[in-house]
Chains A and B, each alone.
Chain A
């Protein structure tokens, strides 16, 4: 088991809503972080992390020109902003939640 790192130490992020999905972009701070999150932060991993609050599925795209991963977490917002009972009905805090996730830093 290698050393683990919290994403907030190597990334920044922003999130919002679209219908009933949370839409999150995760940006690597440098080349090393980019290589690491590309390998470690998979759609499966993110789906598992958000499962307590979102039914899923999770879609993932790589955006190499800005060294970012894009995630769309479906079933996350209680039916969408104007139907949601959530205090965070717009998914604004999903980025911060993802930044708290830990990944393995090395093999």
Chain B
């Protein structure tokens, strides 16, 4: 049976640029796919684009391509990425610039049509309700504050771009799993309604989209025994034409691909495992078979798929107030008591200045900053060497956040003793509400376009 090897390059915007080099050099792969977009990322990119209109894509695509293109051109490895974010043309221009700088010939495909920000009213007029899947929000409530709006496109358009000879495919909000399913559709010419094969391709994409998280990273139990995380091997899959595949990693890299590491990623952030919904197919993950078949080799097979949904999910982000925050540390003795007293002083001072936050969060780093009320109170304060206080507030008014930040430094002289490490006054950060809605495919897909540029 025919097989093809595919590797993972990045699990999010900001992921390490190093492991992909091992995938390219030692992974023996034909394709490398990058998933750079989390729900949070579009918000970050839109903030960047407002400061600099040429931005809006994941900037690390530039150093990534500079490192990778020479190796990949030599070996004929094709690259697929959703680094385009909310500005795929900008990303494509940047990659073309890198190719020219390196003197490489390249066909770059740029996919657009996912960004529906400018079409919201038109879509609403065509009957799209934008009903919030989670809450009670309507578009009208936030219309003037919408920051970004992107529909999740599937793997078909990526396969089409590869069919047209692209060496690099750059998209906006195509799904995480589409980065991986796309090359398989192109390579094996699977029918786009061969649901079981598509479901296997989506499971492959899901297992690989978070890079090191399937090969020994973030392993909850047994992390101490994972070898050489310094040089973690990002996942590589050897895929058969029937859709089954063996998940592994490049030779001589660190990390570990085990049944346990694969299981943890298998159910990561998928919600209902019987209906893992993508634009390409709905997968029943309770049908998948996982087997450890050798060192760093897990075989994955058997996933059943159901027909693709008639709607696409869209993610919208809207401005939702400001976050102000501040930090200050205290040492033994009674570090925790001092930090609590400092919090009282700061919150009272906000009141004295008429600041009434919509929400206030007080965290004690070293005690409960991650778990909040779930963290047990320490039994013996004498054992605590130091505590760092963090206070965060949400307000409608940016200025109120500045008042909070301003109240931390004075405690160095006029608060409980041993106060230190105030670390300046962090600038207020604009908060974004997220909301997802379903849109009929036929209102989005006809607008999807592939533009190919030859450098």
Contact = CB atoms under 8 A, between A and B. Distances in A.
| B is bound to A | yes
Interface of A: 8, 12-14, 16-21, 23, 25, 27, 49-50, 52-53, 59, 61, 63-66, 68, 70, 72, 74, 78-83, 85-88, 90, 92-93, 95-97, 99
A23 B270 CA distance: 8
A25 B359 contact: no
B373 to A, nearest CB: 4
Contacts of A16: 268-269
Nearest to B362: A85
A49 B373 CA distance: 11
Contacts of A74: 134
B220 A79 contact: no
A68 B320 contact: no
A94 to B, nearest CB: 9
A8 B158 CA distance: 42
Contact of A52 (B267, B273, B373): B373
Given A52-B372, A61-B272, A68 B263 contact: yes
Interface stretch (B138-146, B347-355, B363-371, B379-387): B363-371
B432 interface: yes
29 contacts: A12-B219, A12-B220, A12-B260, A14-B218, A14-B264, A19-B434, A23-B270, A25-B267, A25-B268, A49-B374, A53-B372, A53-B373, A59-B272, A63-B285, A65-B287, A65-B290, A70-B267, A80-B39, A81-B434, A82-B43, A82-B44, A82-B317, A83-B321, A85-B323, A85-B359, A87-B370, A95-B220, A96-B220, A97-B374
Contact of A81 (B40, B266, B363, B435): B40
A20 B371 CA distance: 16
A87 B369 contact: yes
B388 to A, nearest CB: 11
B289 A12 contact: no
Given A12-B221, A14-B218, A14-B220, A79 B267 contact: no
Query: Binding site of A, secondary structure by majority: helix, strand, loop or mixed?
Result: mixed
Nearest to B323: A85
Q: Which 6 A-B pairs have the closest CB atoms?
A: A25-B267, A52-B373, A82-B432, A85-B392, A85-B361, A16-B269
